[in-house]
Amino acid sequence: MVIGVPKEIKNNENRVALTPAGVAEFRRFGHTVYVQVNAGVESGFEDEEYIDAGAVMLPTIEDVYGISEMIMKVKEPIASEYNLIKEDQLLFTYFHFASSEELTHAMIERKAVCLAYETVEKTDRSLPLLIPMSEVAGRMAVQEGAKYLEKPQKGRGILLGGVPGVKPAHVLILGGGIVGTQAAKMAAGLGAHVTIMDISLPRLRYLSDIMPENVDTLMSNEYSIREAVKHSDLIIGAVLIPGAKAPHLITREMLKLMRPGTVLVDVAVDQGGCIETCTPTTHENPTYVIDNVVHYCVANMPGAVPYTSTVALTNATLTYALQLANKGWQKACRDNEELKRGLNVVNGKIVYKGVADAFGLPLNDVNELLQREEEEIDY
């Protein structure tokens, strides 16, 4: 198969979809890999490293899209890329379709095969290609939140861990999944008083067992959230519903319950956000203030630490990408239920329920489409 790795062009996105080590693995199985010039530079990988690993460097993004059967990216295509995508071309990347109707319709129109990292799902409901970036984002949420609690950043002027004789900050984390767990570990390690909320009692029991003494667990409901936000200095939204929009757990009216300078970090913003007043921002302009509450809503937080993020992402995606390349996407998805669940749009048809529901569009049976593909190949 011919694999293409374009340079990411979304604002301040410094990651790249494949490391030189990943290129070498594709080459070991006889595949051709085209990488756009300077695609890996911001992640710490020079063009020479890709060439040494066996990649062919191409000067423009148009060249990469034009020659490749499978495109590997980090973030979803943006408007300037739409017309570069060809019918039947496989795109393997984060899409988060449910948060963008424009992107969804564009991919339907291009009749591409869109396999989303974030909906590849194991039988235990874990999301293996989302986990590494969730781990990075959870840890970064505390790092960034601590910075924006500083007074020059319009925060409350509180040191997260306090000092002897001064109480530490109160950190509220909504969601006890990968993001929430990593955020709680970081905040607790810095000495903050942490409350982590979730709707799953078994999950709360587990977190209560593994977390240090400065972490409390609390069942999540509207009343508990309204009470908790009154006393919180940093609030982290860490809610994910795979392939669908996140629910608004913090409403606009709740901002009035918060103290001036409270900081909100919505890690779920690329899936619509779990805080009503959060809209996507960039690393260039990461925050804004509503009702004296600081909002940090960067949609690609791991892009700020691109070396760590790129290596972690390739570690997770490479096994799946090799299956797609070695077998072709149709057979790979028939053989592997995890990959099949990653299919969101196939040749102009939505095959993922969360995306269809988000925009009231028809849902097609992915098994029927894959069966049809198999019959056409057999014929």
From 170, 193, 270, 295, active-site residue:
270
From 96, 170, 193, 295, active-site residue:
96
Distances (CA, A) of 349 to 106, 115, 288: 12, 13, 38
Tokens of 244: 């669908």
Cα 189 to chain centroid, rounded: 24
Structure-token match 């925060």, residue found: 155
Q: Is 231 a catalytic residue?
A: no
Q: How many Å apart are CA 358 and CA 379, to the nearest integer?
A: 37
Q: Is 378 a catalytic residue?
A: no
Q: Which residues pair with 32 in a beta bridge?
A: 2
The DSSP call for residue 274 is: S
Contact between 349 and 87 under an 8 Å Cβ cutoff? The reply is: no
- Pick the closest to residue 312 from 129, 173, 48, 84 (CA basis): 129
Q: Which residues contact 236 (CB under 8 A, 6 or more apart)?
A: 141, 142, 145, 171, 172, 173, 174, 179, 180, 183, 265, 267
User: What does the angle CA 317 – CA 103 – CA 245 come to, to the nearest 5 degrees?
Assistant: 75
The 3-state DSSP class for residue 312 equals helix
Contact between 281 and 287 under an 8 Å Cβ cutoff? The reply is: yes
Q: How many Å apart are CA 264 and CA 218, to the nearest integer?
A: 19
Q: How many Å apart are CA 57 and CA 38, to the nearest integer?
A: 9
Give catalytic residue positions: 96, 270
